Amino acid sequence: MTNAFDLKDSKLEDIETKELFKYYSESKDKKIRDELISRHLYIAEILSKKYANRGIDYDDIYQIACVGLIYAVDRYDLEKGYEFSSFATPTIIGEIKKYFRDKGWTIRVPRRIQELSKKINNAKVTLSQKLQKSPSVEDIAEYLKCTSEEVLEAMEASKVYTPKSLDLSFDSSGDDKDISLSQLVGEDDEYFSKIENKDFLLRAIEKLEDREKKILKDRYFKKKTQVDIADEMGISQMTVSRMEKKIIEKFRVELRKMYD
């Protein structure tokens, strides 16, 4: 295992991710931080694709996702025991959703005004039913326990708000029919499964013995036969077969833990 003292003499790409997080938590070294970010850019890319085609350019979403990834790297605590991608995913999604919320305003409006505007809209519905008429500014102010000036300020600011209609159509890139926003929002996404599967495989492989890792790599990545592996390792083909079955059983155990 590489010690913190000889880390400078090692290639960062050769060091396991968990070790790098440990070193980064102690040193806050920029090169280690950059390497950790680089290794996990795939998460930002996957999550950005989930929110593509919703009225904002993919490149902009990806940039925001990368910002979320940087926050996740800086805040990740290895000691808590969960995988980095499990921590990073909600952090990145939070940044993307915040960006979508802010971009819904054509002019940058303070968050305080945005939140008050939402409350005013809800208050209008409630008070209209209660009073059986359109509520006045004073009615809304009293209901929300704020001043009439604050209500007027938020109502004026709301004029620059441009929500996207669910009927808004997007070019389907060659198909005859366009795709509506309602078809894109809330649909199941395959990319979360890819992240979960990657985490599962990494956890399962980490628990294998060295010989088991070699057999797994040779059989399923290098496509070698059991006979070839047996000759190379100096063992019988039957031994390779038994070890392969043992590896698969270990994966089954890990998979059951995942869903327990």
Q: What is the 3-state secondary structure (H, E, C) of the chain?
A: CCCHHHHHHCCHHHCCHHHHHHHHHHHCCHHHHHHHHHHCHHHHHHHHHHCCCCCCCHHHHHHHHHHHHHHHHHHCCHHHCCCHHHHHHHHHHHHHHHHHHHHCECCCCCHHHHHHHHHHHHHHHHHHHHHCCCCCHHHHHHHHCCCHHHHHHHHHHHHHECCCCCCCEECCCCCCCCEEHHHHCCCCCHHHHHHHHHHHHHHHHHCCCHHHHHHHHHHHCCCCCHHHHHHHHCCCHHHHHHHHHHHHHHHHHHHHHHHC
Burial of 86 (0-12, 13-18, 19+ CB in 10 A): exposed
Q: Is CATH 1.10.3470 what the domain over 207-259 is classified as, yes or no?
A: no
Q: Give the phi and the psi of residue 160 in degrees, each rounded to 5.
A: -95, 0
In percent, how much of the chain has pLDDT > 70? Answer: 74
**Considering all CA atoms of the chain, what is the largest pairwise distance in Å, rounded to the nearest integer?**
88
Q: Can you give the pLDDT at residue 186? A: 47
Q: How far apart are CA 49 and CA 85, in angstroms?
A: 16
For the packed helices 41-50 and 84-103, what is the interaxial angle rounded to 10 degrees? 40
Confirm whether 111-163 and 207-259 share one CATH topology: yes
Q: Is CATH 3.40.50.720 what the domain over 4-103 is classified as, yes or no?
A: no
C-alpha triplet 202, 42, 53: angle, nearest 5°: 135
- Cα dist from 256 to 136, 197, 252, whole Å: 59, 13, 6
- Cα dist from 6 to 35, 85, 86, 244, whole Å: 17, 28, 30, 36
Q: Which CATH class is domain 111-163?
A: mainly alpha
Q: Can you give the pLDDT at residue 60? A: 86
Domain ranges in the chain are 4-103, 111-163, 207-259
- Residue segments in the chain with a per-residue pLDDT below the cut of 50: 1-6, 9, 172-173, 181, 184-188
- pTM comes to 0.43
Q: What is the pLDDT of residues 118-175, one digit of tens each?
A: 888 888 888 888 888 888 989 999 999 999 888 888 887 766 555 555 555 555 445 5
